Chains A and B, each alone.
Chain A
Amino acid sequence: MKKIIVVGNGMVGYKFCEKFVQQSTDSAFKLTVFGEEPRPAYDRVHLSEYFENQDAKALEMAPAEWYVENGIDLVTNERVVDIHRDSKTITTSKDRTFTYDYLILATGSSPFVPPIKGVEKKGVFVYRTIEDLEGMLAYAADLKKTNPDAKAAVLGGGLLGLEAGKAVLDMGLEPHIVEFAPKLMPRQLDSRSSKVLQLKLESIGLNIHLSKATNQILGDDAIVGMEFGEDDVLNVDMLIVSAGIRPRDELAKTCDLEVGVRGGIVVNNKMQTTDENIYAIGEVALLNQMIYGLVAPGYDMADIAVKQILGDVSAEMPEEIDMSTKLKLIGVDVASFGEPFMPASKGHSIIYEDKTKFLYKRINVSLDRKTLLGGILVGDAADYNMLHQMYMNSMAIPEEPAQLILPTSDGAAAFGDVMDLPDDAQVCSCESVTKGQICGAIESGEAKDLADVVSCTKAGTGCGGCKPMVKDITEATLKSLGIEVKDSICEHFDYNRQDLYKIIQVKGYQTFNEVLDNHGNGGHGCELCKPVVASLMASIHADTANKEYAIQDSNDRFLANIQRNGTYSVVPRVPGGEITPDKLIALGEIAKKYDLYTKVTGGVRIDLFGATLNQLPLIWKDLIAHGFESGHAYGKSLRTVKTCVGSTWCRYGMDESVSFGIELENRYRGIRAPHKIKGGVSGCIRECAEARGKDFGLIAVEGGWNLYVGGNGGATPRHAELFAEQIDNETVIKYLDRYLMLYMRTAKPLQRTAAWQERLEGGIEYLKEVIIEDKLGIAKDLEEEMQTLVNKFECEWTQAVNDPEMMKRFNHFVNSKEEDDNIVFVPMRDQKMPEPWK
């Protein structure tokens, strides 16, 4: 068996492993990977997301188990320090020696820190690893404690520098960008577009300092400022250096592999170094005299190295490597592709600029005006994907090329259709997925919707920049196959849930038949549209499920969850999980009286199982007499707000999580929504209430609550995203009212907040704009609607047991008081259970 050692477990090192596993058909090779970082490879491109959720797991390229399952030995926390080419061995920082047949150097690069005096001071950071970010977060938090107006600068106004600037803004420090060149993003933008970008960034609060050479970093122990000229000083409390990258080619020097003058291990187009058994890939490789600081070319390099080793000796890197980029900075669109700066001898440039809208678009076309050579987009990069494709595939452009960038009244008509792209057009450059592969996955039946396409082709899972185009192609292909891509709720309505919400609200309909007769397609409704309309009526008019019970899902109709054998479970509300001993005893006694199976639920309350239909109202009468009310365990409505004990008892508690949890549960109880809603309130960051696994979660921190939204357990667990920090109780309620109401208005049937939020155009940032900044001007309406629902709350079980007419519903037979004779219980441990299904 041949041994392959991969040095570096970063994005490209990982991709090498992944491609190797995919492409090798036998087990003739053994892969061992060394990574110097403490964890398996993670997605550096989306590193900034760590600021939002501090969830390192979410960034993982693959969990540690993946390596085990694929027979790869992954060694983290151990650096390779020496290569001995003559004996084909390497030595590690733990002084261990390993032999190889092939060696893959995927050591990436490190941030370049210019040798400025004082740069070693405390508070100076680089921006490359999770540990870097952790350091920054801790430092910023400390700073803010003593100085709420603390400032931070970023050295470098390039792509990464601006991303770091956004991070500074998000950390709540006053952001400054210091750039040596006279313009921002000097490598990607021309002067005019750079100016437009600058204006836009200044408008969102970034302070930009151009043409500044930093002479020294001021401060005794920690940084207090940067000095440019004698009287030119910028006072800052923190600095992030983002002045370019340096390939980590130190290993090449230990064994005399050729390196470039400015660093980087020299490779040929097979990705071999000057030793044919040693490959270099990713940001450490110097190919065509260039370091390609992007993942997509790195992934291609990994692919070529894999192919070479597996014997496909004709595999080579293409001559031209695409360096088009789109900035991920939220709130500012910037993209450049192909040749952004065009010398007049090679082509013509067409420029559209509107400073009032911070808009700049430039395209460069060939002298014969037939092809697109490159361009720059600032302020609105919606057309980037299509322009990029036209450039990559040398597609024909309109006779009037200006149409490609001029604002049109009817959208992007000048582009033609995504389906005009050639089949081999590479739509996702990160994962090398072509349009043909996307269409193929759908045509073969393997993929039925966008989610399927993404999971079976991996398109859009890298930088994510191609997602809009993947979506368009998917929808167009489905359509061409005659598969309708509409989200109407069922055969009886041509509307989706959101449309119906508006219709019912505006028309004030009170019954299902009114809605169906006025807006349906004929027919009589079904198991899909009836519960949707029932839920909408409840959300709009605060109706309980008692009002029109025949259109309710079975559980809502009988205000209990139907069980395997047609009996029901009973779950009274226990707000926040707090319960008195007397109430506990009452639960026990009632369970005994009706011979019910009892269990503590996963939602930390008590469930009584095995009640027959006839028993339900009797049990509830008893429960209500002891002060209980419906727990809505059967409804698409608020379930529980799980709490930890918080500062009431816990030595670490920062706030009263139980009190607040109870308040929230009582506020939102009974409210019907597209799907169930769960909340959690934790008293400190130890998070004993698992608040971030809930639709809304609160964690007490210094100075208030951190509010998280859109979490989910279930089949697709997701952590909730950080929505607002250090806010007080009142603000939490304000934001939650708006958030939940917006969700109730716009989500699809049976779509939990997590899925809704994930598919929401603009994501969490958009939500913040609508909910915190009120950009749609609907915040007040949302709050009022929620308050109406809160005021109108009524326990539907109390309603039911006090109304003889409603009580009739709970007889198993209309013509007899007897119970269902088909139910058989068998003993289980000290209780009972339904007879198993055959």
Chain B
Amino acid sequence: MITVAKKYKSVKPDEVKVWFKAASVNDFPKDGGACVKYKDLQIAVFNFARLNTWFATQNLSPEKEEMVLSRGMIGDHKGTPMVACPLHKKLFSLVDGTNLNGDLDPIATYPIKIEEENVYIGFAD
């Protein structure tokens, strides 16, 4: 059985083949997230305004496999930028996707760049 989770694999900056233009920076709340559709993937994009940085991860929470992470609160856990899943408050590092308060599988992370007020997400295919 192919689970939804299998569709999400972290992409390293040097693996990027496609820079997908997702939306305008104004479509994302400051210090919050929103969800982007790319092919059959759901990508959570976070505008970490306090660090003047953007992050992209899978939208799927690995705990219960629901598409909710973009709706979580962001902040830091002992200094690591993180998102808290809105369902049961599991924390995931926005930097490398690890689960910071448990032993769930890590979430996939994606490179992101801003050009001319637009948000681009990097994919390997």
Footprint of B on A, CB under 8 Å? 491-492, 512-513, 523-527, 529-531, 549-555, 557-558, 562, 564-566, 808-809, 812-816, 818, 820-823, 837-838
B20 to chain A, nearest CB (A): 9
Question: With A814-B22, A815-B23 given, is the CB distance from A524 to B76 under 8 Å?
Answer: yes
Q: Determine if B64 is an interface residue (Cβ-Cβ < 8 Å).
A: yes
Contact B30 A550 (CB under 8 A): yes
- Set B31, B35, B91: member contacting A814, Cβ < 8 A: B35
Contact A524 B50 (CB under 8 A): yes
Report the separation of the CA atoms of residues A814 and B118 in the bound assembly, to the nearest whole angstrom: 12
Contact A812 B35 (CB under 8 A): yes
Contact B66 A822 (CB under 8 A): yes
Contact A513 B50 (CB under 8 A): yes
- Set A526, A564, A813: member contacting B76, Cβ < 8 A: A526
Contact A562 B87 (CB under 8 A): yes
Contact B35 A566 (CB under 8 A): no
B52 to chain A, nearest CB (A): 12
Contact A822 B42 (CB under 8 A): yes
- Set B30, B34, B50, B66: member contacting A564, Cβ < 8 A: B66
Q: Determine if B68 is an interface residue (Cβ-Cβ < 8 Å).
A: yes
Report the separation of the CA atoms of residues A815 and B118 in the bound assembly, to the nearest whole angstrom: 12
- Set A492, A531, A820: member contacting B67, Cβ < 8 A: A820
Report the separation of the CA atoms of residues A580 and B65 in the bound assembly, to the nearest whole angstrom: 41
Chain A residues lying within 8 Å of B87, measured Cβ to Cβ, are: 562, 564, 566
Complex: chain A residue closest to B35, CB-CB: A813
Q: Taking each of B48, B60, B66, B68, which has the highest tally of chain A beta carbons within 10 Å of its own beta carbon?
A: B66
Produce 1/0 per residue, B21-32, CB < 8 A to A: 011000111111
Complex: chain A residue closest to B119, CB-CB: A814
Q: 8 closest Cβ contacts across the A-B interface?
A: A550-B32, A554-B86, A527-B84, A526-B75, A525-B75, A814-B27, A566-B66, A813-B37
A544 to chain B, nearest CB (A): 16
Q: Determine if B6 is an interface residue (Cβ-Cβ < 8 Å).
A: no
Contact B42 A820 (CB under 8 A): yes
Q: Determine if B12 is an interface residue (Cβ-Cβ < 8 Å).
A: no
Footprint of A on B, CB under 8 Å? 4, 22-23, 27-32, 34-37, 40, 42, 45, 48, 50-51, 60, 64-68, 71-79, 81-82, 84, 86-87, 89, 91
Chain B residues lying within 8 Å of A838, measured Cβ to Cβ, are: 65
Complex: chain B residue closest to A834, CB-CB: B66
Complex: chain A residue closest to B46, CB-CB: A550
Chain A residues lying within 8 Å of B37, measured Cβ to Cβ, are: 813, 815-816, 818
Number of A-B contacts (CB under 8 A): 105
Contact B28 A814 (CB under 8 A): yes
Q: List 13 A-B contacts (CB under 8 A).
A: A513-B31, A524-B51, A524-B75, A531-B73, A549-B29, A554-B68, A564-B66, A566-B71, A813-B35, A814-B34, A815-B22, A815-B36, A822-B67
Contact B60 A822 (CB under 8 A): yes
Report the separation of the CA atoms of residues A794 and B36 in the bound assembly, to the nearest whole angstrom: 32
Chain B residues lying within 8 Å of A513, measured Cβ to Cβ, are: 31, 50
Report the separation of the CA atoms of residues A527 and B22 in the bound assembly, to the nearest whole angstrom: 27
Contact B73 A554 (CB under 8 A): yes
Contact B89 A551 (CB under 8 A): no
Contact B91 A566 (CB under 8 A): no
Question: With A491-B78, A526-B76, A822-B4 given, is the CB distance from A814 to B23 under 8 Å?
Answer: yes
Contact A524 B73 (CB under 8 A): no
Contact B36 A551 (CB under 8 A): no
Chain A residues lying within 8 Å of B23, measured Cβ to Cβ, are: 814-815
Contact B76 A814 (CB under 8 A): no
Report the separation of the CA atoms of residues A790 and B116 in the bound assembly, to the nearest whole angstrom: 45
Report the separation of the CA atoms of residues A557 and B74 in the bound assembly, to the nearest whole angstrom: 13
Chain A residues lying within 8 Å of B72, measured Cβ to Cβ, are: 527, 554
Report the separation of the CA atoms of residues A328 and B122 in the bound assembly, to the nearest whole angstrom: 71
B33 to chain A, nearest CB (A): 8
B87 to chain A, nearest CB (A): 7
Contact A551 B73 (CB under 8 A): yes
Chain A residues lying within 8 Å of B74, measured Cβ to Cβ, are: 524, 550
A551 to chain B, nearest CB (A): 7
- Set B51, B66, B73, B82: member contacting A553, Cβ < 8 A: B73
Chain B residues lying within 8 Å of A527, measured Cβ to Cβ, are: 72-73, 75, 84, 89, 91
B78 to chain A, nearest CB (A): 7
Report the separation of the CA atoms of residues A572 and B4 in the bound assembly, to the nearest whole angstrom: 35
Report the separation of the CA atoms of residues A809 and B32 in the bound assembly, to the nearest whole angstrom: 11
Q: Taking each of B68, B73, B77, which has the highest tally of chain A beta carbons within 10 Å of its own beta carbon?
A: B73
Report the separation of the CA atoms of residues A348 and B72 in the bound assembly, to the nearest whole angstrom: 69
Chain A residues lying within 8 Å of B27, measured Cβ to Cβ, are: 808, 814-815
Report the separation of the CA atoms of residues A512 and B32 in the bound assembly, to the nearest whole angstrom: 13
Report the separation of the CA atoms of residues A813 and B32 in the bound assembly, to the nearest whole angstrom: 14
Report the separation of the CA atoms of residues A491 and B42 in the bound assembly, to the nearest whole angstrom: 32
Chain B residues lying within 8 Å of A809, measured Cβ to Cβ, are: 29
Q: Taking each of A513, A551, A814, A821, which has the highest tally of chain B beta carbons within 10 Å of its own beta carbon?
A: A814
Contact B64 A837 (CB under 8 A): yes
Q: Taking each of A529, A531, A553, which has the highest tally of chain B beta carbons within 10 Å of its own beta carbon?
A: A553
Contact B91 A562 (CB under 8 A): no
Chain B residues lying within 8 Å of A526, measured Cβ to Cβ, are: 73, 75-77, 82, 84
A565 to chain B, nearest CB (A): 6
A536 to chain B, nearest CB (A): 16
Q: Taking each of B22, B29, B72, which has the highest tally of chain A beta carbons within 10 Å of its own beta carbon?
A: B29
Complex: chain B residue closest to A817, CB-CB: B37
- Set A523, A549, A813: member contacting B75, Cβ < 8 A: A523
Contact A558 B73 (CB under 8 A): no
- Set A550, A813, A820: member contacting B31, Cβ < 8 A: A550
Report the separation of the CA atoms of residues A538 and B23 in the bound assembly, to the nearest whole angstrom: 32
Chain B residues lying within 8 Å of A815, measured Cβ to Cβ, are: 22-23, 27, 36-37
Chain B residues lying within 8 Å of A554, measured Cβ to Cβ, are: 68, 71-73, 86
Chain A residues lying within 8 Å of B73, measured Cβ to Cβ, are: 526-527, 530-531, 550-554
B100 to chain A, nearest CB (A): 10
B96 to chain A, nearest CB (A): 17
Report the separation of the CA atoms of residues A491 and B75 in the bound assembly, to the nearest whole angstrom: 11
Report the separation of the CA atoms of residues A557 and B63 in the bound assembly, to the nearest whole angstrom: 22
Complex: chain A residue closest to B51, CB-CB: A524
B29 to chain A, nearest CB (A): 4
10 additional contacts, CB 8 Å, given A524-B48, A551-B73, A809-B29?
Answer: A513-B31, A526-B77, A550-B29, A554-B71, A562-B86, A565-B66, A812-B35, A813-B35, A814-B35, A822-B60
Complex: chain A residue closest to B4, CB-CB: A822
A490 to chain B, nearest CB (A): 9
Report the separation of the CA atoms of residues A837 and B22 in the bound assembly, to the nearest whole angstrom: 31
Contact A566 B75 (CB under 8 A): no
Report the separation of the CA atoms of residues A838 and B27 in the bound assembly, to the nearest whole angstrom: 34
